[in-house]
Homo-oligomer: A and B are copies of this chain.
Amino acid sequence: MDAVPVWLRERRTGVGRPAERSRAEVTAAAIALADREGLAAVSMRRVAAELGTGAASLYRYVDSRDDLLDLMSDEVAAGYRLPEPGGPWLPALLEVCRQGRALMLRHGWLPELVLTRSALGPHGAGLLEHVLAVLAAHPAGAGRKLEAFAVMSTLTAALALNELNAGSAARQSAYLAHVIAAGRHAHLTAALSGGALVPAPRFEDTISRVLVGLLGE
């Protein structure tokens, strides 16, 4: 099997008929479509239609739909604007998470990709490099630093997903209301009895606490 990731299969030399489009162009079309109609709308046919071509043509640029999804993830990761590493590590990592959250809220389909598929391409590797640079002076081992990166990504995506779904959570609370009405589950009832009065912890506070727990003060 050739386990070559998308990012290593490069364009052939200048021989033969030149391509009318680029991989970046296909990726951009897919992102635009996902932004507009969600990840489920990103089918090969619809992306191709977005470009005014046939579905089969996309396979000249991409091996599969999954490849295209990986390209989309990494392309969005190009949007980070990170300062030079330096200074205390916690604020630096929080800034990474803040920007990650902003990117995910702008592209509502991203959290799902980040959570279920963990492929990092060039921009993802650059982000990881930045995090490791920020933690360069930290005494923790490499394993724990890599884990901190994974936890940061996962939690940022999960919290962003919660924010995005906050509107359409009627189904959820409908059933929870029923559970409360049933009488059992005293603690659940107490926790939710405040209605919307339950103060949701703020994003940065949560991430901050988790990172401090993981890496020490």
Query: Which residue on chain B has the smallest CB distance to residue A112?
Result: B116
A209 close to B200 (CB less than 8 A): no
Query: Which residue on chain B has the smallest CB distance to residue A6?
Result: B175
A59 interface contact, C-beta 8 A: no
Query: Which residue on chain B has the smallest CB distance to residue A133?
Result: B187
Query: Which residue on chain B has the smallest CB distance to residue A7?
Result: B175
Instruction: Specify which of B154, B176, B187 is in contact with A132 (CB 8 Å cutoff).
Output: B187
A interface residue count range (under 10 / 10 to 19 / 20 to 34 / 35 or more): 35 or more
B191 close to A146 (CB less than 8 A): yes
Query: Which residue on chain B has the smallest CB distance to residue A121?
Result: B175
In the bound assembly, the distance between CA atoms of A150 and B163 in angstroms comes to 13
In the bound assembly, the distance between CA atoms of A214 and B202 in angstroms comes to 12
Query: Which residue on chain B has the smallest CB distance to residue A119?
Result: B172
- Nearest chain B CB to A208's CB is how many angstroms away? 9
In chain A, residues 124-162, which have Cβ atoms closer than 8 Å to a Cβ of chain B? 125-126, 128-129, 132-133, 136, 141-147, 150-151, 154-155, 158, 161-162
- Nearest chain B CB to A140's CB is how many angstroms away? 9
A118 interface contact, C-beta 8 A: yes
- Nearest chain B CB to A76's CB is how many angstroms away? 18
In the bound assembly, the distance between CA atoms of A212 and B184 in angstroms comes to 29
Residues on the B chain within 8 Å of A174, using CB: 3-5, 8
In the A-B complex, the 7 residue pairs with the closest CB atoms: A213-B213, A132-B187, A142-B191, A115-B115, A5-B175, A154-B158, A129-B185
Return 12 A-B CB contacts under 8 Å, by A number: A3-B171, A5-B171, A115-B116, A120-B175, A141-B198, A141-B199, A142-B192, A147-B206, A150-B158, A151-B158, A209-B213, A210-B210
